[in-house]
Amino acid sequence: MKAVIEYNSRKIEINVSEPIDISIPIDVTKKNINAWGIEDPKIGPASFDGYEVSVANGAVVNFNNIQFNPHSHITHTECVGHITKEVHSVNQNLKHYFFLAELVTVAPEKIGNDFVISEKQLKTALKNKKRDAIVIRTLPNLSDKKETRYFNTNPAYLSNEASSYLVEKGIKHLLIDLPSVDKEKDGGKLEVHNIFWNTSGDLRMNATITEFIFVPNDVDDGEYLLNLMIAPFENDATPSKPILYKIIK
């Protein structure tokens, strides 16, 4: 089923029956993704007076509790409140949900013991394109990204210059298939986050970072309409379900 959407005075045609889900869910029946070395997520029946409420146990409903951390266990979208003393909620600051996005694939460059996404790589990928969002797929792109345990693994990250370039390009929404845009252990500097949200000047309140996505290999690089769906948590970060739609014309 096709639909035509007017976006910034441009009419965009998409096939709404062909969504491309780039989120990673919490699935406690499998090996779940995990970052920062915290306990795994839990989903299980609530108990009342020692009785577990589930249909399998004779109840009329399933009534599960869920315990997780969005930064560690699932695709999540965060706002500047992730790194500020003042509380800011992504649910209050993300007011629009459809964006013109560019999907790019990069092989992070080896610098010393690190793998880094450079400004040059993003410039080559974006060129003179005007986009509101960038979706970064890193190589190698294996399916085990959906269950990797990243603690003490020093995963790839963005350079400071790459973050500055995205701000200069007017990118408001950065999506990436890594646990963080910053180096895992950087002494608490979080320079890429700080640059992207401009914490030394006027805060980019409407800018978001989405981490722990997964883009299948059969999805081509290029222009997409992004539907950035979030759960309504009043928190610096919330689970999210970003969906891409290939633009027909």
SS (H, E, C) the chain: CEEEEEECCEEEEEECCCCEECCCCCCCCCCCCECCCCCCCEEEECEECCEECCHHHCCCCCCEEEECCHHHHCCEEECHHHCCCCCCCHHHHCCCCEEEEEEEEECCEEECCEEEECHHHHHHHHCCCCCCEEEEEECCCCHHHHCCECCCCCCCEECHHHHHHHHHCCCCEEEECCCCCCCCCCCCCCHHHHHHHCCCCCCCCCCEEEECCCCCCCCCCEEEEEEEEECCCCCCEEEEEEEEEEECC
C-beta separation of 38 from 69 below 8 A: yes
C-beta separation of 90 from 239 below 8 A: no
Residues 101, 119: Cα–Cα separation, whole Å: 18
Do the bridges between strand 237-246 and strand 76-78 make them parallel or antiparallel, or are there none, so unpaired?
antiparallel
pLDDT in tens, 202-233: 999 999 999 999 999 999 999 999 999 999 99
The rounded mean pLDDT for the chain is 96
Instruction: Identify the pLDDT of residue 5.
Output: 87
Instruction: Identify the pLDDT of residue 249.
Output: 79
Domains of the chain are 2-25+70-246 (3.50.30.50)
State pTM to two decimals. Answer: 0.96
Distances (CA, A) of 219 to 3, 37, 48, 103, 229: 20, 31, 46, 9, 20
Distances (CA, A) of 145 to 23, 25, 54, 155, 214: 11, 12, 32, 11, 7
- In terms of Cβ atoms closer than 10 Å to its own Cβ (0-12, 13-18, 19+), residue 149 is middle
Percent of the chain residues topping a pLDDT of 90:
94
pLDDT in tens, 44-97: 999 998 899 999 999 999 999 999 999 999 999 999 999 999 999 999 999 999
**Residue 104 pLDDT level (bands cut at 50, 70, 90):** very high
Average confidence (pLDDT) over 155-178: 98
Both tokens of 169, joined, read: 């390009």
In this predicted structure, the answer to whether residue 9 has a pLDDT above a threshold of 90 is no
Instruction: Identify the pLDDT of residue 201.
Output: 95
In this predicted structure, the answer to whether residue 189 has a pLDDT above a threshold of 90 is yes
Instruction: Identify the pLDDT of residue 23.
Output: 98
**Residue 237 pLDDT level (bands cut at 50, 70, 90):** very high
